[in-house]
């Protein structure tokens, strides 16, 4: 099996598939090659799993075309499993550790990601063989009330952001006696760096479909939609195939499993506006209007799509439903915390060594995620913060590493679960620049309807840009704080209400960095271009080496009379090429902040 | 329908029609609540975008927009408090930071809702701590009886509604975020559209962005 979800393909998985197929053909070996989804080990992609009789299934990572060819030659055609290239085995055995034997595996618990990267997402039989559609077969003979009750008892909270109890939402919709109701799967995943929903759609599409069918049965709907962003073409393709397969198998469409339950599912491709992840904006988009949020109440569960009761659930939320129905609410409550039961899926990105997706019980700590799952910070750098919940979330510093990750603990800490994006930052990340980045994203994605979001975030962005350029004033901090609080209170929808969160949390935990920018013109992380200068240390410069001169795109580096290299600060565009070009044994190029330090250094040496 | 209910606004007991929004109940009883985008005929689906008509309702933890909340029997409402006034002032200042202030030369001066809000709430027209976010957009003089200056527009959307209900539906809200503006399809000048010059948009414009001239 070759991991060929979008992240696998980005790492070259399709070439690996071709190499393996060609090698098998040239050796006339009869073996099945399947493109599967994503297991979550994105740091090690391309991934290949080999399942050979009398051997445990082995997962190989960092597979190059050469290694792929070698694996066919030595293991599939021969008997050498090339253990030195294996990441882990998939089953307990005597020779190769399993994923559960590593620190990451001890923290992880897979529910919705259990079959991701293992089953063929384009084969419904793979899903059925692993218990798929059993929940639907079971629930369809129960009343909708019983299904709703089970979900309420499970305590499942929506995995799209705020964590509203799913069963309560379903119950509200169920209560309306209407002939027409809708269920919608919200796959408009827009946080920078987040791809949990995409992975589930690409790796196990039937799981989501079964969840949506169960939701439809529970609330009494016969029509459902999957709102998928058009930027996810592979996800759209696989869901389309999955719907067709399910209909052919009598699991969707008319008279499902021979009963009087009918459900038609359709894909609606969203146009990519971040704000359409908000329920009322998503509905407006589907109705042909601009994707602009409406005031709530009425909530979509009362009056949603075309004015009819509508339940909208996130991909991850729906993915849990089949498991809860099949194994029961009590089983679900065994994992996680009392108020946040179950697991959560995170996209771990940023400065951790092992980036990728991970599914962990609610209540594990940030420390476990960063150090056990992520293997800590790359390059021996110091951990600084983690941004949870994307542009709507907040950043948490080192003092919060032992914070449990669940809806309520994160809320108290000033962050939020969001949909599961988690970006780890180290000492080289400027927290003012981070806040500016997220606010710039939010400003760009604002629909422009309401005053506080359209103009409030713009004013905040102006202030942050002044600060990162060294043009801020101390009173800007107070103005920024007041704006943030007012935008939070006054905005119409959650995009605007949460837009100030990165600013509020960075100001709370890293106010010293804001102040350094303003009062000293210094960027403590050496990140803000206007506040840094590149400088070549004379005593480390190897006179005979011209690597930095050659690398400079604007010819700002020259040799002085002693043949020591000097940067012309007027010309320098701070692209970092000279720092990268300087051989490690010299490491003569450094960053200084504030830029005036260059003159001081030169005076000292002169 | 048509049932009367009793509620209290700013300590004053008043009556209102059940289902009416608090904003209109208050205004009809001479209690002023700042507003720009609200239109009484549209009160059952309020735009709610100007974010100025904040009130406090006893029992609700957060300020709410008066144009969206239905009046209910026994409700106790406050339109003024330290936090409400601060929030309204913040919203007003944001609007004014993006509004081309030129009262002396503006035809709407004296009939301007922005001036009224500033007077009622004792807020200065020009915000102190915010940078002026000028748009520098061209004025549209192409229709001989309507002048449109987008630099004065506060994006309340009233002209769009008026144009749809009384005019020829040539106006719409377009673009996103800070770039959002009232414009025509394809951004063509009013004079080149099917605009009939009825002036319904200018009649509802609260801020002098749309002015009807007398030809």
Q: Do A458 and B133 touch (CB under 8 A)?
A: yes
Nearest CA in chain B to A453: B177
How many Cα neighbours within 13 Å face the side chain of B80?
8
Return the closest-CA partner of residue B192 out of B154, B148, B159. Answer: B148
Read off the pLDDT band of A417 (50, 70, 90): confident
* Alpha-carbon distances, residue A490 vs B40, B59, B99 (angstroms): 22, 18, 19
Torsion over CA of B24, B29, B32 and B36, rounded to 10 degrees?
20
Chain A hits for B94, Cβ within 8 Å: 451-452, 455-456, 459
- Summarised one tens digit per residue, pLDDT across range B139-150 is 999 998 999 999
Whole-number percent of chain A with pLDDT over 90: 87
Q: What are phi and psi of A153, to 5 degrees?
A: -65, -35
The nearest CA of chain B is from the CA of A297 a distance in Å of 9
pLDDT digits (tens, 9 = 90+) for A43-94: 999 999 999 998 999 999 999 999 999 999 999 999 999 999 999 999 999 8
pLDDT score recorded for residue B76: 96
Q: Using alpha carbons only, how large is chain B's radius of gyration in Å?
A: 18
If you average pLDDT over every residue of chain A, what do you get? Answer: 94
The full length of chain B comes to: 215
Shortest CA distance from A445: residue in chain B: B177
- B54 in reach of chain A (CB within 8 A): yes
User: In this predicted structure, what is the pLDDT of residue B1?
Assistant: 57
Q: A157, A166 in Cβ contact below 8 A?
A: yes
Cα–Cα dist A61/A67, whole Å? 10
Q: How confident is the model at residue A128 (pLDDT cuts 50, 70, 90)?
A: very high
What is the DSSP code string of A482-537? HHHHHHHHH-SSHHHHHTTHHHHHHHHH-HHHHHIIIII---TTS--GGG-EEEE-
For residue A192, the Cα-to-chain-centroid distance in whole angstroms is 7
B35-71 pLDDT tens trace: 999 999 998 889 999 999 999 999 999 999 999 999 9
Residues B105 and A109: their CA atoms lie apart, in Å, by: 68
Between CA A271 and CA A291 the distance in angstroms is 9
Q: What is the pLDDT of residues A239-255, one digit of tens each?
A: 999 999 999 999 999 99
CA distance B184 to A531: 44
Q: Does B215 score more than 60 pLDDT? A: no
DSSP A254: S
Confidence band of B115 (pLDDT split at 50, 70, 90): very high
Closest CB to B133 among A445, A448, A455:
A455
**Residue B2: pLDDT band with limits 50, 70, 90:** confident
How much is the average pLDDT of A92-105? Answer: 91
Q: What average pLDDT does range A228-240 have in this prediction?
A: 95
- The residues that bridge with A165 in the sheet, in sequence order, are A157
Q: Is B72 on the interface with A (CB under 8 A)?
A: no
Using DSSP bridges, classify how beta strands B12-17 and B4-9 pair: parallel, antiparallel or unpaired: antiparallel
* ipTM for this model: 0.94
CA dist., res. A264 & res. A354, Å (int): 40
Instruction: Report the pLDDT value the prediction gives residue A294, as an integer from 0 to 100.
Output: 86
Residue A126 has pLDDT above 90, yes or no: yes
Exposure string of B20-32, with b = 16+ CB inside 10 Å and e = fewer, is bbbbbbbbeeebe
Selected for mutation to probe chain A from B72, B177, B182 (highest A CB count within 10 Å) is: B177
Which residues of chain A make contact with B48, given a CB cutoff of 8 A?
295, 450, 492
Contact check, Cβ <8 Å, A452/B52: no
Average pLDDT over residues A479-491: 96
- Residue indicated by tokens 């039961």: A341
CA distance B76 to chain A (A): 20
Inter-chain touch B177–A451, beta carbons under 8 Å: no
Chain A residues touching B65 at Cβ < 8 A: 295
Confidence grade of residue B214 (pLDDT, cut at 50, 70, 90): confident
Identify the DSSP state of B191. Answer: G
Higher pLDDT, B83 or A378: B83
Cis peptide upstream of residue A594 (ω within 30 degrees of 0): yes
Distance to chain A for B156, nearest Cα, Å: 9
Q: Which residue blocks in A100-255 are alpha helix, DSSP H? A: 103-107, 124-129, 134-139, 144-154, 166-175, 196-203, 205-219, 233-248
Q: For chain A, what percent of residues have pLDDT higher than 70? A: 100
Residue in chain A closest to B53 (alpha carbons) equals A490
Q: Which residue of A444, A459, A490 is in closest CB contact with B130?
A: A459
In 3D space, the residue among B113, B18, B23, B7 whose CA is nearest the CA of residue B68 turns out to be B23
**What integer pLDDT is reported at residue A273 of this predicted model?**
87
Q: Is the pLDDT of residue B14 over 80?
A: yes
Interchain pair A482, B180: CB under 8 A: no
């Amino acid at each position: 099996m070759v991991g060929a979800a979008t992240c696998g393909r980005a790492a070259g998985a399709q070439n690996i598939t071709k190499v393996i197929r060609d090698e098998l053909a040239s050796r006339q070996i009869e073996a099945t090659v399947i493109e599967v989804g994503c297991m979550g080990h994105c740091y090690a992609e391309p991934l290949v799993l080999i399942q050979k009789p009398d051997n445990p299934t082995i997962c190989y990572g960092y597979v190059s075309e050469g290694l792929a060819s070698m694996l066919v030659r030595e293991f599939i055609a021969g008997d050498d499993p090339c253990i030195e290239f294996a990441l882990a085995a998939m089953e307990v055995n005597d020779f190769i550790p399993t994923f559960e034997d590593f620190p990451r595996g001890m923290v992880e618990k897979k529910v919705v990601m259990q079959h991701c990267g293992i089953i063929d997402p384009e084969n419904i039989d793979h899903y059925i063989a692993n218990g798929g559609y059993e929940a639907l077969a079971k629930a369809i003979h129960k009343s909708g009330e019983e299904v709703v009750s089970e979900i309420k008892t499970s305590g499942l909270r929506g995995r799209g952001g705020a964590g509203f109890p799913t069963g309560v939402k379903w119950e509200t919709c169920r209560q309306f006696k209407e002939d027409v109701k809708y269920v919608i799967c919200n796959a408009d995943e827009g946080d920078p760096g987040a791809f949990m929903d995409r992975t589930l759609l690409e790796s196990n599409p039937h799981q989501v479909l079964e969840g949506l069918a169960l939701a439809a049965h529970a609330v009494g709907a016969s029509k459902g939609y999957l709102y998928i962003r058009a930027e996810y073409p592979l996800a759209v393709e696989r869901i389309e195939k999955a719907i067709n397969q399910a209909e052919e198998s009598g699991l969707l469409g008319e008279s499902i499993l021979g009963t009087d339950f009918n459900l038609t599912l359709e894909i609606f491709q969203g146009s990519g506006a971040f704000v359409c992840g908000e329920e009322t904006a998503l509905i407006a988009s589907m109705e042909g209007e601009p994707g602009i949020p409406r005031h709530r109440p009425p909530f979509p569960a009362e009056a949603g799509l075309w004015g009819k009761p509508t339940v909208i659930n996130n991909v991850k939320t729906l993915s849990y439903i089949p498991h809860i129905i099949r194994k029961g609410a009590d089983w679900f409550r065994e994992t996680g915390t009392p108020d946040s039961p179950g697991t959560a899926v995170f996209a771990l990105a940023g400065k951790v060594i092992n980036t990728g997706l991970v599914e962990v019980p609610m209540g594990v700590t940030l420390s476990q995620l960063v150090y056990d799952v992520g293997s800590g910070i790359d390059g021996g750098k110091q951990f600084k913060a983690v941004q949870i919940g994307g542009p709507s979330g907040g950043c948490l510093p080192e003092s919060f590493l032992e914070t449990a990750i669940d809806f309520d603990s994160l809320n108290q800490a000033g962050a939020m679960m969001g949909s599961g994006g988690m970006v780890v930052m180290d000492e080289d990340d400027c927290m003012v620049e981070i806040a500016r980045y997220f606010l710039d994203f939010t400003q760009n994605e604002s629909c422009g309807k309401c005053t506080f979001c359209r103009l409030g975030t713009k004013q905040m962005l102006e202030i942050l840009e002044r600060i990162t350029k060294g043009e801020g004033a101390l009173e800007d901090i107070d103005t920024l704080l007041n704006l943030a609080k007012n935008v939070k209170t006054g905005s119409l929808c959650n995009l605007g209400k949460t837009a100030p969160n990165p600013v509020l949390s960075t100001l709370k935990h890293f106010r010293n960095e804001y102040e350094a920018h303003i009062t000293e013109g210094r960027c403590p992380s050496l990140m803000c271009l206007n506040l840094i200068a590149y400088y070549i240390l004379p005593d480390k410069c190897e006179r005979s080496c011209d690597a930095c001169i050659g690398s400079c795109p604007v010819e700002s580096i020259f040799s002085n009379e002693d043949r020591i290299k000097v940067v012309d600060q007027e010309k320098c565009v701070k692209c970092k090429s000279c720092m990268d070009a300087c051989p490690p044994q010299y490491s003569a190029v450094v960053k200084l902040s504030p830029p005036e330090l260059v003159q001081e250094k030169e005076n000292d040496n002169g | 329908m048509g049932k009367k209910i009793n509620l209290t606004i700013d300590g004053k007991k008043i009556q209102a029609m059940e289902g009416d929004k608090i904003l209109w109940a208050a205004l009809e009883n001479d209690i002023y609540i700042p507003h720009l985008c609200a239109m009484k005929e549209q009160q059952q689906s309020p735009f709610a975008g100007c974010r100025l008509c904040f009130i406090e309702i006893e029992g609700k933890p957060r300020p709410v927009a008066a144009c969206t909340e239905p009046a209910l029997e026994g409700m106790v409402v406050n339109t003024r408090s330290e936090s409400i006034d601060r929030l309204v002032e913040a919203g007003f200042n944001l609007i004014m930071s993006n509004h081309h202030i030129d009262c002396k030369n503006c035809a709407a001066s004296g009939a301007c809702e922005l001036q009224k809000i500033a007077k009622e709430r004792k807020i200065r027209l020009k915000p102190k701590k915010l940078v002026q976010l000028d748009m520098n957009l061209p004025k549209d003089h192409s229709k001989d009886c309507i002048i449109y200056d987008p630099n004065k527009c506060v994006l309340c959307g009233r002209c769009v509604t008026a144009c749809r209900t009384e005019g020829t539906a040539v106006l719409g809200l377009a673009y996103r975020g800070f770039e959002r503006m009232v414009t025509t399809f394809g951004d063509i000048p009013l004079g080149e559209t099917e605009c009939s010059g009825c002036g319904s948009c200018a009649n509802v414009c609260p801020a002098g962005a749309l002015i009807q001239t007398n030809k």
